[in-house]
């Protein structure tokens, strides 16, 4: 078979793996995984999570990278090449990451502010910072600026180069923080026990769903990123091996993050003579309220470790956001045949504008002000629910359907075997996974996700229904836009990027 023609993509296989790992390793690893692990039976959840990565994550990631690589183009063209009527799967895979970019940039701004402030102290800073609009806007702009610089410099000169420096840096910082925390003495053993000792009685249907959802989000599946990064690779990468490496890195960082967070929190609780249950351990509160308190109670070294910690969070957030910003930039470059610099400026400008109301709305929430809300939620939580609960699983499902039902597993496996993969007796199980099992599992996640949205705790929530309906409306608009404007028109390939 002819070699895949490649233009302007990653220079090396390891560059691709690090960039894709950079996309995967993000806030989901640093605050989502540790908390969910502790909540769902410690090591028992880790086994479950790894099973989900192996049985769902790997298959979807292979499908997504494969779709990108065989098309050497943006997601719309990638799906159009398979069948003109499914090109809208690709438009959805561009819109979802664009929406995520808007709110992720606000959180990115928070991490920059907290890193800068580490030495002066962040304890009690959250509501104050969040409620000062000019600061929130300024720091979101700085964060978007970081992403802009990298994406503007292109795939090889920007994304690949940045990932090659930043990913090892993140790893070193995390190891330093873990070593420091493990040496704190008091409370450390209890923290590790809480985090890792398996408690199989906590494994329920809900924890299986939590593990599936986490695997999904953490591996950056269903957000176009892997299709786009895949499109910048050629035959020099082995898709199956690369996928394995990305999944291992991602899981390792998530596990290590928990080894930094829980011993530190338990140490603090023990020194203060309080129970860990009095501390907020999830999401925004863990990262921006509890952890600063914990680090700052240790004194000067604590401040330094706090700085390392937030520097690491910034790196994780930047390498993630560039992957989703690249999705929309690639499409704008290829569809409108404009230069990368202009396309990036347009996307970053739009991101900045959209981040303003989102930042203000989150600030209100953190200050207990009931303004700028939609369906009773702040804008950030609303968009997070729309994308994570409804749209991302749909996008991932479409990637699987495209490979399992349109290209057909036999053909996909044949093409993958040209990368020196020898599937042998695993051929049939892999085909069954691609075609039936993984799509079915995604449908289960989607079903329970939406059910939980509309009937949280089994009571009807009109707001949840609102979120679900808005999500479906977005899908309907995407379908209409595709069939009216994009199906018949040229949507470009990587060869269209103007130097
Ligand atoms: N895989 C990312 C994480 O675990 O945080 C998810 C993600 C979010 C990727 C936002 C990219 C992004 F911009």
Confidence at residue 282, expressed as pLDDT on a 0 to 100 scale: 80
Q: Is 253 in the pocket of ligand 1 (CB under 6 A)?
A: no
Confidence at residue 316, expressed as pLDDT on a 0 to 100 scale: 97
d(CA 398, CA 473): 17
d(CA 309, CA 175): 10
Using CA positions, which residue lies closest to atom 13 of ligand 1?
321
CA of 267 to the centre of ligand 1 (A): 29
Q: Are 431 and 410 in contact (CB under 8 A)?
A: yes
CA of 275 to the centre of ligand 1 (A): 32
How large is the angle between the packed helices 205-218 and 438-454, nearest 10 degrees? 110
d(CA 205, CA 196): 20
**pTM for the predicted model, two decimal places:** 0.95
395 CB-near residues (< 8 Å, 6+ apart): 89, 92, 93, 96, 222, 223, 224
CA of 220 to the centre of ligand 1 (A): 6
Q: Is 216 in the pocket of ligand 1 (CB under 6 A)?
A: no
CA of 8 to the centre of ligand 1 (A): 24
CA of 428 to the centre of ligand 1 (A): 32
Name residue, tokens 């410099």: 153
Q: Is 471 in the pocket of ligand 1 (CB under 6 A)?
A: no
Q: Which of 230, 313, 238 is nearest to 20 (CA)?
A: 230
H/E stretch holding 69 reads: helix 58-71
d(CA 384, CA 104): 9
Out of 320, 323, 391, mutate this one to test ligand 1's pocket (max ligand atoms within 8 Å of CB): namely: 320
CA of 183 to the centre of ligand 1 (A): 30
Long-range contacts, stretch 337-343, CB < 8 angstroms, 24+ apart: 337/492, 337/496, 337/498, 338/498, 339/498, 340/151, 340/152, 340/154, 340/497, 340/498, 341/152
CA of 188 to the centre of ligand 1 (A): 29
Out of 21, 25, 28, 314, mutate this one to test ligand 1's pocket (max ligand atoms within 8 Å of CB): namely: 28
Q: Are 303 and 119 in contact (CB under 8 A)?
A: yes
Confidence at residue 6, expressed as pLDDT on a 0 to 100 scale: 65
Q: Is 419 in a helix, a strand, or coil?
A: coil
Segment-wise mean pLDDT, segments of 10 residues, the chain, 499 residues? 63 96 94 85 89 93 97 97 97 97 96 94 92 97 98 97 97 96 93 89 85 90 96 93 96 94 93 89 87 92 94 96 98 97 98 98 93 93 92 95 96 91 90 96 92 92 95 98 97 92
Q: Is 57 in the pocket of ligand 1 (CB under 6 A)?
A: no
Q: Is 320 in the pocket of ligand 1 (CB under 6 A)?
A: yes
d(CA 324, CA 108): 13
Q: Please, what's the b/e burial string for 107-123 (b: 16 or more CB within 10 A of its CB; e: otherwise)?
A: bbbbbbbbbebbeeebe
Q: Is 319 in the pocket of ligand 1 (CB under 6 A)?
A: no
Closest ligand 1 atom, CA of 29?
Answer: 4
Q: Is 387 in the pocket of ligand 1 (CB under 6 A)?
A: no
Confidence at residue 238, expressed as pLDDT on a 0 to 100 scale: 94
Closest ligand 1 atom, CA of 218?
Answer: 4
Out of 57, 106, 223, mutate this one to test ligand 1's pocket (max ligand atoms within 8 Å of CB): namely: 223
Cross-strand bridge partners of residue 374: 377
């Amino acid at each position: 078979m002819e070699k895949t023609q490649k233009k302007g993509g990653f220079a090396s296989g390891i560059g691709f793996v690090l960039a894709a790992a950079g996309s995967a390793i993000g806030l989901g690893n640093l605050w989502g995984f540790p908390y969910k692990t502790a909540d769902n039976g410690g090591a028992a959840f880790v086994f479950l999570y790894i099973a989900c990565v192996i049985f769902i994550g790997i298959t979807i990631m292979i499908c997504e990278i494969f779709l990108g690589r065989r098309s050497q183009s943006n997601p719309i063209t990638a799906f159009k090449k398979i069948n003109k009527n499914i090109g809208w799967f690709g438009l959805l895979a561009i819109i979802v990451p664009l929406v995520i970019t808007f709110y992720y940039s606000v959180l990115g701004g928070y991490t920059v502010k907290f890193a800068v402030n580490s030495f002066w102290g962040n304890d009690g800073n959250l509501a104050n910072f969040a409620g000062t609009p000019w600061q929130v806007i300024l720091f979101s702009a700085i964060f978007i600026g970081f992403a802009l610089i990298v994406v503007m410099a292109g795939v090889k000169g920007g994304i690949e180069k940045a990932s090659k420096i930043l990913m090892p840096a993140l790893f070193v910082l995390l190891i330093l923080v873990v070593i420091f925390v493990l040496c704190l003495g008091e409370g450390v053993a209890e923290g590790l026990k809480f985090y890792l000792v398996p408690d199989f009685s906590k494994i329920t249907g809900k924890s299986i769903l939590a593990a599936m959802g986490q695997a999904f989000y953490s591996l950056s599946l269903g957000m176009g990123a892997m299709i786009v990064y895949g499109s910048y690779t050629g035959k020099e990468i082995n898709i199956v091996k690369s996928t394995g490496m990305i999944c291992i890195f991602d899981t390792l960082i998530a596990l290590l993050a928990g080894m930094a967070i829980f011993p530190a929190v338990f140490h603090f609780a023990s020194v203060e003579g309080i129970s860990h249950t009095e501390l907020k351990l999830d999401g925004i509160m863990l990262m921006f309220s509890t952890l600063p308190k914990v680090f700052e109670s240790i004194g000067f070294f604590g401040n330094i470790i706090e700085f390392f910690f937030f520097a690491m969070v910034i790196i994780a957030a930047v390498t993630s956001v560039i992957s989703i910003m690249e999705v929309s930039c690639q499409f704008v470059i290829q569809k409108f045949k404009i230069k990368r610099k202009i396309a990036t400026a347009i996307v970053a400008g739009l991101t900045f504008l959209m981040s303003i109301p989102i930042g203000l709305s989150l600030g209100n929430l953190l200050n207990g002000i009931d303004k700028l809300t939609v369906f009773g939620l702040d804008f950030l939580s609303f968009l997070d629910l729309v994308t994570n609960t409804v749209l991302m699983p749909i996008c991932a499902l479409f990637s699987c359907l495209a490979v399992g039902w349109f290209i057909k597993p036999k053909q996909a496996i044949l093409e993958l075997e040209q990368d020196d993969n020898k599937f042998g007796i695993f051929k049939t199980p892999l085909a069954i996974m691609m075609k039936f099992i993984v799509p079915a599992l995604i449908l289960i996640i989607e079903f329970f996700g939406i059910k939980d949205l509309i009937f949280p705790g089994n009571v009807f929530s009109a707001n949840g229904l609102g979120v679900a309906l808005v999500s479906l409306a977005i899908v309907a608009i995407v379908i209409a836009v595709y069939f009216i404007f994009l199906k018949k028109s040229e949507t470009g390939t990587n060869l269209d990027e103007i130097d």
